[in-house]
């Protein structure tokens, strides 16, 4: 294997990398190495000072993080311009949509951490509502203008992984709230078999 990916099945950011690698035909070069980011003895802390996954360990020992950098690296390895368009307008649209998808996942993770890491205290409802507000506004904007999946780019991948994370942890019931996105994710899943293969509960 050329690469080792520090990973966790539930991580939407790891899923982004795995889907990108599969689309680029590079998944066979990547060995998954699960990481427990909450374990102070996990080697992830030496590999990524931020202690976050995904982190991709290259053959020469260099480590790349985060998901945006890793996807760009894999895209370059595959020849470039495949998941991150080279045309300027298409490129910045894909990167903008990626930021929106990643932002949903970031807010959704903060909601999980607020309840998981403060077991002795009541979750701060104001904080949770602020995070939910970010997710809901982002969902509304995506429903109004769903990302192109022809071809699939890094923006569509990020949004699909964010929606999958909401399905998994249920921070916001996006299917009830933004039903216009259901056909979008179904079309994405039909176009991208690795979406199913990388589901969090696989
Ligand atoms: N912007 C980063 C976000 C990565 C991230 O938040 N990963 C989470 C898991 S889904 C993590 O490692 N959390 C552990 C921590 O924050 O200590 C990326 O795109 O890779």
Q: Is residue 25 part of a domain?
A: yes
165 lines ligand 1 (CB under 6 A): no
pLDDT of residue 119: 81
153 lines ligand 1 (CB under 6 A): no
Residue finishing a domain among 22, 42, 77: 77
Going by alpha carbons, the residue nearest to atom 14 of ligand 1 is 52
Shared domain for 124 and 176, answered yes or no, is yes
pLDDT of residue 191: 98
Asked if the bond preceding 189 is cis, omega within 30° of 0, the reply is: no
Q: Is residue 108 part of a domain?
A: yes
24 lines ligand 1 (CB under 6 A): no
pTM over 0.85: yes
Shared domain for 11 and 99, answered yes or no, is no
pLDDT of residue 202: 87
pLDDT of residue 118: 83
Shared domain for 188 and 104, answered yes or no, is yes
CATH number of the domain enclosing 94: 1.20.1050.10
Q: Is residue 67 part of a domain?
A: yes
Going by alpha carbons, the residue nearest to atom 2 of ligand 1 is 66
Q: Is residue 26 part of a domain?
A: yes
Q: Is residue 144 part of a domain?
A: yes
98 lines ligand 1 (CB under 6 A): no
Asked if the bond preceding 93 is cis, omega within 30° of 0, the reply is: no
171 lines ligand 1 (CB under 6 A): no
13 lines ligand 1 (CB under 6 A): yes
Q: Where are the beta strands (DSSP E) in the chain?
A: 3-7, 30-34, 55-57, 63-64
Q: Are 123 and 67 in contact (CB under 8 A)?
A: no
Q: Is residue 83 part of a domain?
A: no
Q: Is residue 96 part of a domain?
A: yes
Shared domain for 22 and 110, answered yes or no, is no
Q: Which of 196, 166, 176, 177 lies closest to 104, judged by CA? A: 166
Shared domain for 92 and 149, answered yes or no, is yes
pLDDT of residue 63: 98
CA distance 183 to 98: 19
Shared domain for 124 and 59, answered yes or no, is no
Number of domains forming the structure of the chain: 2
Tokens 């506004």 locate to: 137
pLDDT of residue 115: 87
pLDDT of residue 168: 98
With the most atoms of ligand 1 within 8 angstroms of its CB, the residue from 6, 8, 13 to mutate is 13
Shared domain for 175 and 126, answered yes or no, is yes
Going by alpha carbons, the residue nearest to atom 11 of ligand 1 is 52
Domain assignment of residue 25, given as a range:
3-77
Q: Which residues of the chain have pLDDT under 50?
A: none
């Amino acid at each position: 294997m050329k690469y080792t990916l520090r990973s966790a099945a539930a991580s939407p950011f790891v899923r982004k990398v795995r889907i990108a690698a599969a689309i680029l035909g590079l998944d066979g070069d990547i060995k998954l190495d699960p990481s427990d980011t909450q374990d102070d003895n996990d080697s992830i802390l030496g590999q990524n000072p931020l202690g976050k996954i995904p982190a991709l360990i290259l053959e020469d020992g260099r480590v790349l993080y985060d998901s945006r950098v890793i996807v760009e690296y894999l895209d370059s390895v595959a020849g470039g311009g495949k998941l991150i368009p080279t045309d300027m307008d298409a490129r910045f649209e894909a990167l903008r949509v990626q930021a929106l998808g990643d932002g949903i996942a970031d807010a959704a993770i903060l909601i999980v951490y607020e309840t998981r890491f403060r077991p002795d205290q009541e979750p701060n409802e104001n904080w949770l509502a602020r995070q939910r507000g970010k997710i809901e506004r982002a969902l509304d904007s995506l429903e109004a203008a769903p990302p192109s999946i022809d071809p699939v780019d890094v923006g569509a991948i990020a949004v699909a992984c964010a929606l999958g994370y909401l399905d998994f942890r249920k921070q916001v019931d996006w299917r009830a709230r933004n039903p216009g996105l259901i056909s979008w994710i179904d079309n994405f899943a039909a176009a991208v078999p690795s979406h199913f293969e990388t589901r969090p509960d696989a």
